[in-house]
A and B are shown apart, each in its own frame.
Chain A
Amino acid sequence: MATSTQPVTPQLWLRQQCRWHPLEIVFWLSTLLPFFLFPNYLSLASQIAITAMFALSLDLILGYAGVVSLGHAAFFGIGAYGAGLFSIHVWGEPFTGLLFGGLIAGIAGYITSFIVARFRHLTLIMITLGIGLMAHEIANKAHSLTGGSDGLQGVKIQPLFGVFKFDLYGYVAYSYSLAALFIAFLAVRRIVNSPFGLALRGIRENWTRMPAIGADRPAHIRKAYTIAAVLAGFAGAILTQTTQSAALESISFGRSADVLVMLVLGGAGRLYGGLIGATIFMVARDQFSGIAPQYWYFWIGVLLIVVVMFMPNGILGGLSYIYARWRRK
Protein backbone atom coordinates (compact mmCIF):
# COMPACT_ATOMS: atom_id res chain seq x y z
CA MET A 1 0.00 0.00 0.00
CA ALA A 2 1.02 3.61 -0.42
CA THR A 3 3.49 4.72 2.19
CA SER A 4 4.37 8.26 1.19
CA THR A 5 5.24 10.77 3.85
CA GLN A 6 3.09 13.66 2.61
CA PRO A 7 -0.53 13.79 3.77
CA VAL A 8 -2.58 11.84 1.30
CA THR A 9 -6.17 12.76 0.69
CA PRO A 10 -8.49 9.87 -0.18
CA GLN A 11 -9.03 11.38 -3.63
CA LEU A 12 -5.32 11.57 -4.28
CA TRP A 13 -4.78 8.05 -3.02
CA LEU A 14 -7.50 6.68 -5.26
CA ARG A 15 -6.08 8.51 -8.23
CA GLN A 16 -2.67 7.02 -7.46
CA GLN A 17 -4.18 3.58 -7.34
CA CYS A 18 -5.87 4.11 -10.68
CA ARG A 19 -2.61 4.77 -12.47
CA TRP A 20 -1.33 1.84 -14.52
CA HIS A 21 1.91 0.36 -13.30
CA PRO A 22 4.34 -0.68 -16.07
CA LEU A 23 4.27 -4.23 -14.69
CA GLU A 24 0.53 -4.35 -15.30
CA ILE A 25 1.00 -3.44 -18.93
CA VAL A 26 3.66 -6.13 -19.22
CA PHE A 27 1.28 -8.61 -17.64
CA TRP A 28 -1.52 -7.93 -20.08
CA LEU A 29 0.81 -7.95 -23.06
CA SER A 30 2.11 -11.30 -21.92
CA THR A 31 -1.39 -12.76 -22.01
CA LEU A 32 -1.08 -12.48 -25.80
CA LEU A 33 2.00 -14.71 -25.80
CA PRO A 34 0.11 -18.01 -25.99
CA PHE A 35 -1.02 -17.05 -29.50
CA PHE A 36 2.58 -17.03 -30.63
CA LEU A 37 4.52 -19.22 -28.21
CA PHE A 38 2.04 -21.94 -27.27
CA PRO A 39 -0.50 -22.19 -30.07
CA ASN A 40 -1.09 -25.80 -29.00
CA TYR A 41 -2.13 -24.75 -25.53
CA LEU A 42 -4.83 -22.30 -26.47
CA SER A 43 -7.76 -24.29 -25.13
CA LEU A 44 -5.96 -24.59 -21.81
CA ALA A 45 -5.22 -20.85 -21.96
CA SER A 46 -8.88 -20.20 -22.62
CA GLN A 47 -9.98 -22.22 -19.62
CA ILE A 48 -7.36 -20.48 -17.51
CA ALA A 49 -8.75 -17.12 -18.57
CA ILE A 50 -12.25 -18.26 -17.63
CA THR A 51 -11.10 -19.55 -14.25
CA ALA A 52 -9.13 -16.34 -13.73
CA MET A 53 -12.31 -14.36 -14.32
CA PHE A 54 -14.11 -16.56 -11.81
CA ALA A 55 -11.29 -16.02 -9.29
CA LEU A 56 -11.42 -12.29 -9.97
CA SER A 57 -15.09 -12.27 -9.13
CA LEU A 58 -14.39 -14.11 -5.87
CA ASP A 59 -11.59 -11.64 -5.13
CA LEU A 60 -14.06 -8.77 -5.29
CA ILE A 61 -16.07 -10.17 -2.38
CA LEU A 62 -13.37 -12.10 -0.54
CA GLY A 63 -10.30 -9.96 -1.06
CA TYR A 64 -12.02 -6.59 -0.83
CA ALA A 65 -15.21 -7.04 1.21
CA GLY A 66 -13.93 -9.92 3.36
CA VAL A 67 -16.86 -12.14 2.40
CA VAL A 68 -15.40 -15.65 2.29
CA SER A 69 -17.59 -17.86 0.14
CA LEU A 70 -17.39 -21.62 -0.30
CA GLY A 71 -20.39 -21.66 -2.61
CA HIS A 72 -19.36 -19.28 -5.34
CA ALA A 73 -19.69 -21.99 -7.99
CA ALA A 74 -23.46 -21.63 -7.62
CA PHE A 75 -23.28 -18.47 -9.73
CA PHE A 76 -20.70 -19.90 -12.08
CA GLY A 77 -22.99 -22.87 -12.65
CA ILE A 78 -26.11 -20.75 -13.04
CA GLY A 79 -24.31 -18.72 -15.68
CA ALA A 80 -23.08 -21.90 -17.36
CA TYR A 81 -26.50 -23.54 -17.47
CA GLY A 82 -28.17 -20.23 -18.29
CA ALA A 83 -26.02 -19.69 -21.37
CA GLY A 84 -26.42 -23.33 -22.40
CA LEU A 85 -30.20 -23.31 -22.06
CA PHE A 86 -30.36 -19.97 -23.85
CA SER A 87 -28.52 -21.45 -26.82
CA ILE A 88 -30.91 -24.41 -26.90
CA HIS A 89 -34.21 -22.65 -26.40
CA VAL A 90 -33.64 -19.15 -27.80
CA TRP A 91 -30.73 -18.87 -30.19
CA GLY A 92 -27.04 -19.63 -30.34
CA GLU A 93 -25.70 -16.09 -30.67
CA PRO A 94 -22.90 -15.93 -28.06
CA PHE A 95 -23.05 -12.33 -26.78
CA THR A 96 -26.73 -12.38 -25.91
CA GLY A 97 -26.24 -15.80 -24.32
CA LEU A 98 -23.37 -14.38 -22.28
CA LEU A 99 -25.49 -11.47 -21.09
CA PHE A 100 -28.33 -13.82 -20.22
CA GLY A 101 -26.03 -16.07 -18.18
CA GLY A 102 -24.66 -13.08 -16.28
CA LEU A 103 -28.13 -11.66 -15.76
CA ILE A 104 -29.68 -14.72 -14.15
CA ALA A 105 -26.57 -15.32 -12.06
CA GLY A 106 -26.87 -11.71 -10.95
CA ILE A 107 -30.53 -12.17 -10.00
CA ALA A 108 -29.64 -15.27 -7.98
CA GLY A 109 -26.77 -13.33 -6.41
CA TYR A 110 -29.00 -10.40 -5.52
CA ILE A 111 -31.57 -12.65 -3.85
CA THR A 112 -29.01 -14.59 -1.81
CA SER A 113 -27.08 -11.43 -0.96
CA PHE A 114 -29.79 -10.54 1.55
CA ILE A 115 -28.84 -13.62 3.57
CA VAL A 116 -25.12 -13.33 3.01
CA ALA A 117 -24.85 -9.70 4.10
CA ARG A 118 -26.03 -10.55 7.60
CA PHE A 119 -23.28 -12.95 8.58
CA ARG A 120 -19.55 -13.35 8.82
CA HIS A 121 -16.77 -15.74 9.81
CA LEU A 122 -17.49 -19.47 9.82
CA THR A 123 -21.24 -18.89 9.76
CA LEU A 124 -20.92 -17.01 6.50
CA ILE A 125 -18.69 -19.67 4.97
CA MET A 126 -21.11 -22.40 5.95
CA ILE A 127 -24.17 -20.53 4.71
CA THR A 128 -22.57 -19.91 1.33
CA LEU A 129 -21.52 -23.57 1.29
CA GLY A 130 -25.09 -24.62 2.07
CA ILE A 131 -26.50 -22.42 -0.68
CA GLY A 132 -23.93 -23.79 -3.13
CA LEU A 133 -24.71 -27.39 -2.25
CA MET A 134 -28.44 -26.78 -2.57
CA ALA A 135 -27.91 -25.19 -5.98
CA HIS A 136 -25.95 -28.30 -7.01
CA GLU A 137 -28.73 -30.56 -5.79
CA ILE A 138 -31.37 -28.50 -7.61
CA ALA A 139 -29.39 -28.76 -10.85
CA ASN A 140 -29.20 -32.53 -10.37
CA LYS A 141 -32.90 -32.77 -9.51
CA ALA A 142 -34.05 -30.69 -12.45
CA HIS A 143 -33.06 -33.54 -14.72
CA SER A 144 -35.42 -32.63 -17.54
CA LEU A 145 -34.03 -29.10 -17.70
CA THR A 146 -30.32 -29.59 -17.03
CA GLY A 147 -29.73 -33.18 -18.12
CA GLY A 148 -28.71 -34.02 -14.55
CA SER A 149 -25.43 -35.82 -14.16
CA ASP A 150 -25.16 -36.58 -17.88
CA GLY A 151 -24.73 -32.89 -18.52
CA LEU A 152 -26.69 -30.49 -20.68
CA GLN A 153 -27.25 -31.83 -24.17
CA GLY A 154 -27.57 -29.94 -27.41
CA VAL A 155 -25.64 -26.75 -26.70
CA LYS A 156 -24.92 -25.16 -30.06
CA ILE A 157 -23.13 -21.84 -30.24
CA GLN A 158 -22.99 -19.77 -33.42
CA PRO A 159 -19.74 -18.18 -34.57
CA LEU A 160 -18.68 -14.94 -32.86
CA PHE A 161 -20.02 -11.92 -34.81
CA GLY A 162 -21.35 -14.58 -37.17
CA VAL A 163 -17.81 -15.01 -38.54
CA PHE A 164 -15.40 -16.62 -36.10
CA LYS A 165 -16.33 -20.22 -35.47
CA PHE A 166 -15.09 -21.80 -32.22
CA ASP A 167 -12.28 -23.83 -33.75
CA LEU A 168 -10.48 -27.00 -32.76
CA TYR A 169 -7.33 -25.09 -31.81
CA GLY A 170 -9.01 -22.65 -29.48
CA TYR A 171 -7.94 -19.43 -31.21
CA VAL A 172 -11.41 -17.99 -31.08
CA ALA A 173 -12.12 -19.45 -27.63
CA TYR A 174 -9.01 -17.86 -26.15
CA SER A 175 -9.56 -14.54 -27.88
CA TYR A 176 -13.13 -14.46 -26.60
CA SER A 177 -12.37 -15.44 -23.01
CA LEU A 178 -9.29 -13.22 -22.83
CA ALA A 179 -11.23 -10.21 -24.09
CA ALA A 180 -13.99 -10.90 -21.59
CA LEU A 181 -11.45 -11.29 -18.79
CA PHE A 182 -9.81 -7.99 -19.69
CA ILE A 183 -13.10 -6.11 -19.73
CA ALA A 184 -14.13 -7.71 -16.44
CA PHE A 185 -10.75 -6.80 -15.00
CA LEU A 186 -11.11 -3.16 -16.05
CA ALA A 187 -14.53 -3.06 -14.41
CA VAL A 188 -13.34 -4.61 -11.17
CA ARG A 189 -10.25 -2.40 -11.12
CA ARG A 190 -12.45 0.63 -11.47
CA ILE A 191 -14.79 -0.60 -8.74
CA VAL A 192 -12.13 -1.32 -6.15
CA ASN A 193 -10.44 2.01 -6.79
CA SER A 194 -13.64 3.94 -6.24
CA PRO A 195 -15.05 5.28 -2.98
CA PHE A 196 -17.30 2.21 -2.99
CA GLY A 197 -14.22 0.00 -3.18
CA LEU A 198 -12.73 1.88 -0.24
CA ALA A 199 -15.90 1.28 1.72
CA LEU A 200 -15.63 -2.43 0.99
CA ARG A 201 -12.08 -2.47 2.29
CA GLY A 202 -13.29 -0.68 5.35
CA ILE A 203 -15.82 -3.43 5.93
CA ARG A 204 -13.12 -6.04 5.48
CA GLU A 205 -10.88 -4.34 8.01
CA ASN A 206 -13.51 -3.58 10.61
CA TRP A 207 -16.95 -5.04 10.26
CA THR A 208 -18.51 -3.27 13.23
CA ARG A 209 -16.90 0.10 12.81
CA MET A 210 -18.07 0.86 9.28
CA PRO A 211 -21.76 1.15 10.19
CA ALA A 212 -20.70 3.28 13.14
CA ILE A 213 -19.15 5.85 10.82
CA GLY A 214 -22.28 5.90 8.72
CA ALA A 215 -21.62 3.35 5.98
CA ASP A 216 -24.54 1.16 5.01
CA ARG A 217 -22.64 -2.09 5.40
CA PRO A 218 -25.36 -4.56 4.30
CA ALA A 219 -26.12 -2.50 1.19
CA HIS A 220 -22.42 -2.35 0.25
CA ILE A 221 -22.01 -6.08 0.71
CA ARG A 222 -25.17 -6.79 -1.26
CA LYS A 223 -23.97 -4.64 -4.11
CA ALA A 224 -20.52 -6.23 -4.20
CA TYR A 225 -21.98 -9.72 -3.90
CA THR A 226 -24.36 -9.14 -6.79
CA ILE A 227 -21.61 -7.77 -9.01
CA ALA A 228 -19.43 -10.76 -8.15
CA ALA A 229 -22.31 -13.11 -8.99
CA VAL A 230 -22.74 -11.46 -12.38
CA LEU A 231 -19.03 -11.86 -13.11
CA ALA A 232 -19.07 -15.48 -12.00
CA GLY A 233 -22.09 -16.00 -14.23
CA PHE A 234 -20.20 -14.51 -17.17
CA ALA A 235 -17.29 -16.85 -16.52
CA GLY A 236 -19.60 -19.85 -16.39
CA ALA A 237 -21.39 -18.75 -19.55
CA ILE A 238 -18.11 -18.44 -21.42
CA LEU A 239 -17.07 -21.92 -20.29
CA THR A 240 -20.32 -23.32 -21.66
CA GLN A 241 -19.99 -21.41 -24.89
CA THR A 242 -16.36 -22.26 -25.58
CA THR A 243 -16.78 -25.95 -24.73
CA GLN A 244 -20.39 -26.28 -25.90
CA SER A 245 -21.18 -28.28 -22.80
CA ALA A 246 -22.37 -27.71 -19.25
CA ALA A 247 -22.41 -30.22 -16.43
CA LEU A 248 -23.00 -30.54 -12.72
CA GLU A 249 -19.28 -30.13 -12.12
CA SER A 250 -19.65 -26.45 -13.02
CA ILE A 251 -21.89 -25.91 -9.99
CA SER A 252 -20.14 -28.26 -7.56
CA PHE A 253 -18.48 -27.80 -4.20
CA GLY A 254 -15.23 -28.87 -5.84
CA ARG A 255 -15.26 -25.89 -8.15
CA SER A 256 -16.04 -23.50 -5.29
CA ALA A 257 -13.18 -24.93 -3.26
CA ASP A 258 -10.74 -24.94 -6.17
CA VAL A 259 -11.30 -21.30 -7.01
CA LEU A 260 -10.88 -20.33 -3.37
CA VAL A 261 -7.59 -22.22 -3.26
CA MET A 262 -6.43 -20.55 -6.49
CA LEU A 263 -7.27 -17.08 -5.22
CA VAL A 264 -5.55 -17.62 -1.90
CA LEU A 265 -2.58 -19.17 -3.67
CA GLY A 266 -2.16 -16.11 -5.84
CA GLY A 267 -2.96 -13.66 -3.04
CA ALA A 268 -6.40 -12.30 -2.21
CA GLY A 269 -7.23 -8.62 -2.32
CA ARG A 270 -4.69 -7.77 -5.00
CA LEU A 271 -6.69 -7.99 -8.25
CA TYR A 272 -3.94 -9.96 -9.92
CA GLY A 273 -3.90 -12.65 -7.23
CA GLY A 274 -6.75 -14.62 -8.73
CA LEU A 275 -5.28 -14.31 -12.21
CA ILE A 276 -1.84 -15.50 -11.16
CA GLY A 277 -3.25 -18.16 -8.85
CA ALA A 278 -5.51 -19.58 -11.54
CA THR A 279 -2.67 -19.65 -14.04
CA ILE A 280 -0.20 -21.34 -11.71
CA PHE A 281 -2.73 -23.82 -10.34
CA MET A 282 -4.06 -24.86 -13.72
CA VAL A 283 -0.73 -25.03 -15.49
CA ALA A 284 0.70 -27.03 -12.58
CA ARG A 285 -2.31 -29.31 -12.63
CA ASP A 286 -2.04 -29.83 -16.36
CA GLN A 287 1.66 -30.59 -16.18
CA PHE A 288 1.54 -32.79 -13.07
CA SER A 289 -1.46 -34.75 -14.28
CA GLY A 290 0.25 -35.26 -17.61
CA ILE A 291 3.15 -36.87 -15.78
CA ALA A 292 1.20 -38.77 -13.12
CA PRO A 293 -2.52 -38.87 -13.89
CA GLN A 294 -3.26 -40.71 -10.67
CA TYR A 295 -1.04 -38.91 -8.23
CA TRP A 296 -0.89 -35.29 -9.34
CA TYR A 297 -2.77 -34.32 -6.17
CA PHE A 298 0.46 -34.97 -4.33
CA TRP A 299 2.42 -32.35 -6.22
CA ILE A 300 -0.38 -29.80 -6.07
CA GLY A 301 -0.45 -30.37 -2.31
CA VAL A 302 3.30 -29.83 -2.11
CA LEU A 303 2.96 -26.65 -4.15
CA LEU A 304 0.30 -25.26 -1.81
CA ILE A 305 2.31 -26.08 1.30
CA VAL A 306 5.51 -24.60 -0.08
CA VAL A 307 3.72 -21.39 -0.98
CA VAL A 308 2.07 -21.15 2.42
CA MET A 309 5.30 -21.83 4.28
CA PHE A 310 7.45 -19.37 2.40
CA MET A 311 5.02 -16.81 1.05
CA PRO A 312 2.35 -15.84 3.53
CA ASN A 313 -0.63 -14.10 1.92
CA GLY A 314 -0.16 -15.90 -1.34
CA ILE A 315 2.37 -15.61 -4.10
CA LEU A 316 1.75 -11.93 -4.72
CA GLY A 317 1.72 -11.26 -0.98
CA GLY A 318 5.07 -12.98 -0.67
CA LEU A 319 6.54 -11.16 -3.65
CA SER A 320 5.44 -7.76 -2.45
CA TYR A 321 6.88 -8.52 0.98
CA ILE A 322 10.22 -9.43 -0.57
CA TYR A 323 10.04 -6.34 -2.77
CA ALA A 324 9.30 -4.12 0.21
CA ARG A 325 12.26 -5.52 2.13
CA TRP A 326 14.50 -5.06 -0.85
CA ARG A 327 13.39 -1.43 -1.20
CA ARG A 328 14.16 -0.73 2.43
CA LYS A 329 17.79 -1.84 2.12
Chain B
Amino acid sequence: MNMIGYWGVTRAIVIREFLRFVHQRERFVAALVRPLVWLFIFAAGFRAALGLSIIPPYDTYITYETYIVPGLCAMVLLFNSMQSSLSLVYDREMGSMRLLLTSPYPRWWLLFCRLFGSTTISVLQVYAFLGIAALFGITMPPWGYVAVLLGLILGGLMLGALGLVLSSFISQLENFAGVMNFVIFPMFFLSSALYPLWKMAESSPLLRDICTFNPFTHVVELIRFLLYLQLNLHALAWVIVSTFVLSLIAVWGYDPARGLIKRKG
Protein backbone atom coordinates (compact mmCIF):
# COMPACT_ATOMS: atom_id res chain seq x y z
CA MET B 1 0.00 0.00 0.00
CA ASN B 2 2.40 2.66 -1.25
CA MET B 3 1.98 6.30 -2.26
CA ILE B 4 1.11 5.27 -5.82
CA GLY B 5 -1.77 3.23 -4.42
CA TYR B 6 -3.03 6.19 -2.40
CA TRP B 7 -2.83 8.41 -5.45
CA GLY B 8 -4.62 5.72 -7.49
CA VAL B 9 -7.53 5.75 -5.05
CA THR B 10 -7.76 9.55 -5.25
CA ARG B 11 -7.63 9.47 -9.01
CA ALA B 12 -10.28 6.76 -9.28
CA ILE B 13 -12.70 8.50 -6.92
CA VAL B 14 -12.28 11.88 -8.63
CA ILE B 15 -12.78 10.29 -12.07
CA ARG B 16 -15.89 8.49 -10.82
CA GLU B 17 -17.30 11.75 -9.43
CA PHE B 18 -16.55 13.46 -12.72
CA LEU B 19 -18.16 10.70 -14.81
CA ARG B 20 -21.25 10.75 -12.61
CA PHE B 21 -21.43 14.51 -12.98
CA VAL B 22 -21.05 14.33 -16.75
CA HIS B 23 -23.83 11.75 -16.90
CA GLN B 24 -26.12 14.05 -14.95
CA ARG B 25 -26.28 17.01 -17.34
CA GLU B 26 -29.40 18.35 -15.70
CA ARG B 27 -27.43 18.66 -12.46
CA PHE B 28 -24.85 20.82 -14.22
CA VAL B 29 -27.53 23.01 -15.78
CA ALA B 30 -29.33 23.38 -12.43
CA ALA B 31 -26.08 24.24 -10.70
CA LEU B 32 -25.52 27.04 -13.21
CA VAL B 33 -29.07 28.32 -13.54
CA ARG B 34 -29.54 28.78 -9.79
CA PRO B 35 -26.86 31.45 -9.24
CA LEU B 36 -27.60 33.04 -12.62
CA VAL B 37 -31.23 33.56 -11.60
CA TRP B 38 -30.05 35.24 -8.43
CA LEU B 39 -27.55 37.33 -10.38
CA PHE B 40 -29.74 38.53 -13.21
CA ILE B 41 -33.20 38.60 -11.64
CA PHE B 42 -32.91 38.93 -7.89
CA ALA B 43 -29.96 41.33 -8.02
CA ALA B 44 -31.61 43.48 -10.68
CA GLY B 45 -34.66 43.97 -8.50
CA PHE B 46 -32.70 44.37 -5.31
CA ARG B 47 -30.19 46.86 -6.68
CA ALA B 48 -32.52 49.82 -6.24
CA ALA B 49 -33.49 48.85 -2.70
CA LEU B 50 -30.02 48.36 -1.30
CA GLY B 51 -27.42 51.09 -1.05
CA LEU B 52 -23.87 49.89 -0.67
CA SER B 53 -21.08 51.91 0.86
CA ILE B 54 -17.43 51.34 0.00
CA ILE B 55 -16.15 48.49 2.16
CA PRO B 56 -13.05 46.30 1.82
CA PRO B 57 -11.99 44.73 -0.47
CA TYR B 58 -13.72 47.23 -2.79
CA ASP B 59 -12.05 50.59 -3.30
CA THR B 60 -14.87 52.18 -5.20
CA TYR B 61 -18.63 52.00 -5.49
CA ILE B 62 -19.76 48.72 -7.02
CA THR B 63 -23.02 47.48 -8.43
CA TYR B 64 -25.10 45.07 -6.40
CA GLU B 65 -24.50 42.40 -9.04
CA THR B 66 -20.79 42.69 -8.42
CA TYR B 67 -21.33 42.49 -4.67
CA ILE B 68 -23.23 39.22 -4.73
CA VAL B 69 -20.93 37.33 -7.14
CA PRO B 70 -18.70 35.93 -4.31
CA GLY B 71 -21.81 34.91 -2.36
CA LEU B 72 -23.18 33.14 -5.40
CA CYS B 73 -19.84 31.37 -5.93
CA ALA B 74 -20.14 30.12 -2.35
CA MET B 75 -23.75 29.20 -3.05
CA VAL B 76 -22.63 26.94 -5.87
CA LEU B 77 -20.19 25.27 -3.45
CA LEU B 78 -22.91 24.94 -0.80
CA PHE B 79 -25.50 23.40 -3.10
CA ASN B 80 -22.96 21.08 -4.63
CA SER B 81 -21.75 19.87 -1.24
CA MET B 82 -25.36 19.15 -0.27
CA GLN B 83 -25.88 17.36 -3.58
CA SER B 84 -22.79 15.30 -2.86
CA SER B 85 -24.04 14.57 0.63
CA LEU B 86 -27.37 13.49 -0.86
CA SER B 87 -25.56 11.15 -3.22
CA LEU B 88 -23.65 9.68 -0.25
CA VAL B 89 -26.93 8.86 1.46
CA TYR B 90 -28.17 7.45 -1.85
CA ASP B 91 -24.95 5.43 -2.22
CA ARG B 92 -25.47 4.01 1.23
CA GLU B 93 -29.08 3.11 0.58
CA MET B 94 -28.20 1.64 -2.82
CA GLY B 95 -25.17 -0.21 -1.48
CA SER B 96 -22.32 1.39 -3.41
CA MET B 97 -21.05 3.07 -0.24
CA ARG B 98 -20.30 -0.43 1.05
CA LEU B 99 -17.93 -0.97 -1.83
CA LEU B 100 -16.02 2.18 -0.99
CA LEU B 101 -15.83 1.40 2.72
CA THR B 102 -14.61 -2.16 2.20
CA SER B 103 -11.48 -0.91 0.45
CA PRO B 104 -8.36 -1.80 2.45
CA TYR B 105 -7.28 1.86 2.45
CA PRO B 106 -7.89 3.89 5.63
CA ARG B 107 -11.41 5.16 5.89
CA TRP B 108 -10.32 8.73 6.56
CA TRP B 109 -8.39 8.68 3.29
CA LEU B 110 -11.37 7.31 1.35
CA LEU B 111 -13.58 10.05 2.80
CA PHE B 112 -10.99 12.70 2.01
CA CYS B 113 -10.82 11.47 -1.60
CA ARG B 114 -14.60 11.65 -1.84
CA LEU B 115 -14.44 15.18 -0.44
CA PHE B 116 -11.71 16.17 -2.87
CA GLY B 117 -13.69 14.71 -5.79
CA SER B 118 -16.84 16.64 -4.99
CA THR B 119 -14.82 19.83 -4.41
CA THR B 120 -13.20 19.49 -7.83
CA ILE B 121 -16.63 19.31 -9.44
CA SER B 122 -17.81 22.31 -7.41
CA VAL B 123 -14.84 24.42 -8.46
CA LEU B 124 -15.47 23.65 -12.14
CA GLN B 125 -19.06 24.78 -11.70
CA VAL B 126 -18.00 28.02 -10.04
CA TYR B 127 -15.64 28.83 -12.91
CA ALA B 128 -18.43 28.16 -15.40
CA PHE B 129 -20.62 30.59 -13.43
CA LEU B 130 -17.87 33.24 -13.28
CA GLY B 131 -17.37 32.81 -17.03
CA ILE B 132 -21.02 33.49 -17.80
CA ALA B 133 -21.08 36.46 -15.40
CA ALA B 134 -18.01 37.85 -17.21
CA LEU B 135 -19.76 37.47 -20.57
CA PHE B 136 -22.45 39.78 -19.21
CA GLY B 137 -19.91 42.34 -18.07
CA ILE B 138 -19.58 41.41 -14.40
CA THR B 139 -15.84 41.00 -14.23
CA MET B 140 -13.13 40.79 -11.58
CA PRO B 141 -9.40 41.60 -11.83
CA PRO B 142 -7.90 39.00 -14.19
CA TRP B 143 -5.54 37.53 -11.58
CA GLY B 144 -8.44 37.39 -9.15
CA TYR B 145 -9.78 34.45 -11.13
CA VAL B 146 -6.55 32.59 -10.38
CA ALA B 147 -6.22 33.70 -6.75
CA VAL B 148 -9.79 32.70 -5.93
CA LEU B 149 -8.95 29.05 -6.65
CA LEU B 150 -7.50 28.78 -3.13
CA GLY B 151 -10.72 30.05 -1.56
CA LEU B 152 -12.88 27.83 -3.75
CA ILE B 153 -10.91 24.71 -2.82
CA LEU B 154 -10.88 25.52 0.90
CA GLY B 155 -14.54 26.55 0.89
CA GLY B 156 -15.45 23.46 -1.12
CA LEU B 157 -13.62 21.22 1.32
CA MET B 158 -15.28 22.87 4.31
CA LEU B 159 -18.77 22.59 2.88
CA GLY B 160 -18.03 19.10 1.58
CA ALA B 161 -16.98 18.06 5.09
CA LEU B 162 -20.28 19.50 6.34
CA GLY B 163 -22.02 17.35 3.73
CA LEU B 164 -20.15 14.26 4.96
CA VAL B 165 -21.21 14.99 8.53
CA LEU B 166 -24.83 15.39 7.46
CA SER B 167 -24.73 12.20 5.39
CA SER B 168 -23.50 10.24 8.39
CA PHE B 169 -26.40 11.59 10.47
CA ILE B 170 -29.12 11.06 7.88
CA SER B 171 -30.29 7.49 7.70
CA GLN B 172 -32.77 7.74 4.83
CA LEU B 173 -33.17 9.77 1.69
CA GLU B 174 -36.63 10.91 2.77
CA ASN B 175 -35.12 12.80 5.69
CA PHE B 176 -32.88 14.76 3.44
CA ALA B 177 -35.29 17.48 2.31
CA GLY B 178 -35.86 18.62 5.88
CA VAL B 179 -32.17 18.86 6.59
CA MET B 180 -31.67 20.84 3.40
CA ASN B 181 -34.19 23.38 4.68
CA PHE B 182 -32.56 23.54 8.06
CA VAL B 183 -29.03 23.80 6.70
CA ILE B 184 -28.92 25.44 3.28
CA PHE B 185 -31.35 28.29 3.79
CA PRO B 186 -30.16 29.41 7.23
CA MET B 187 -26.52 29.14 6.15
CA PHE B 188 -27.09 31.13 3.00
CA PHE B 189 -29.38 33.85 4.32
CA LEU B 190 -27.56 34.28 7.64
CA SER B 191 -24.36 35.24 5.88
CA SER B 192 -22.75 38.08 3.98
CA ALA B 193 -23.66 36.47 0.65
CA LEU B 194 -26.56 38.80 -0.17
CA TYR B 195 -25.94 41.83 2.03
CA PRO B 196 -22.96 43.21 3.94
CA LEU B 197 -22.98 42.57 7.66
CA TRP B 198 -23.09 46.27 8.56
CA LYS B 199 -26.36 46.43 6.67
CA MET B 200 -27.63 43.43 8.63
CA ALA B 201 -26.59 45.14 11.90
CA GLU B 202 -28.81 48.11 11.06
CA SER B 203 -31.81 45.78 11.26
CA SER B 204 -30.68 43.46 14.03
CA PRO B 205 -27.34 43.32 15.84
CA LEU B 206 -28.24 39.80 17.00
CA LEU B 207 -28.65 38.57 13.43
CA ARG B 208 -25.35 40.20 12.54
CA ASP B 209 -23.69 38.36 15.42
CA ILE B 210 -25.18 35.06 14.24
CA CYS B 211 -23.87 35.79 10.74
CA THR B 212 -20.35 36.33 12.05
CA PHE B 213 -20.41 32.88 13.65
CA ASN B 214 -21.67 31.25 10.47
CA PRO B 215 -18.69 29.55 8.75
CA PHE B 216 -20.40 30.13 5.41
CA THR B 217 -19.96 33.90 5.90
CA HIS B 218 -16.24 33.34 6.08
CA VAL B 219 -16.21 31.21 2.93
CA VAL B 220 -17.97 34.10 1.15
CA GLU B 221 -15.53 36.68 2.51
CA LEU B 222 -12.50 34.55 1.70
CA ILE B 223 -13.70 34.26 -1.89
CA ARG B 224 -14.62 37.97 -2.05
CA PHE B 225 -11.18 39.14 -0.94
CA LEU B 226 -9.29 36.66 -3.11
CA LEU B 227 -11.24 37.76 -6.17
CA TYR B 228 -9.71 41.19 -5.53
CA LEU B 229 -6.26 39.73 -4.85
CA GLN B 230 -6.43 40.24 -1.09
CA LEU B 231 -6.22 37.65 1.65
CA ASN B 232 -8.68 37.90 4.53
CA LEU B 233 -6.72 36.09 7.22
CA HIS B 234 -9.63 36.10 9.66
CA ALA B 235 -11.87 34.36 7.15
CA LEU B 236 -9.06 31.99 6.16
CA ALA B 237 -8.56 30.92 9.78
CA TRP B 238 -12.30 30.38 10.24
CA VAL B 239 -12.53 28.24 7.13
CA ILE B 240 -9.48 26.12 8.00
CA VAL B 241 -10.57 25.50 11.59
CA SER B 242 -14.16 24.73 10.51
CA THR B 243 -12.88 22.28 7.87
CA PHE B 244 -10.72 20.55 10.44
CA VAL B 245 -13.49 20.23 13.03
CA LEU B 246 -16.09 19.08 10.49
CA SER B 247 -13.65 16.53 9.02
CA LEU B 248 -12.99 15.07 12.46
CA ILE B 249 -16.73 14.71 13.07
CA ALA B 250 -17.15 13.10 9.63
CA VAL B 251 -14.38 10.56 10.28
CA TRP B 252 -15.97 9.79 13.63
CA GLY B 253 -19.38 9.50 11.97
CA TYR B 254 -18.07 6.91 9.53
CA ASP B 255 -16.05 4.96 12.09
CA PRO B 256 -17.50 1.43 12.14
CA ALA B 257 -16.96 1.02 15.88
CA ARG B 258 -18.20 4.31 17.24
CA GLY B 259 -19.90 6.10 14.45
CA LEU B 260 -23.32 7.34 13.66
CA ILE B 261 -23.49 4.98 10.71
CA LYS B 262 -23.97 2.09 13.14
CA ARG B 263 -27.39 0.91 12.35
CA LYS B 264 -29.09 -2.26 11.38
CA GLY B 265 -28.74 -3.67 7.87
| A and B associate in one complex | no
Interface residues of A (CB under 8 A from B): none
Query: Which residues does B use to contact A, with CB under 8 Å?
Result: none
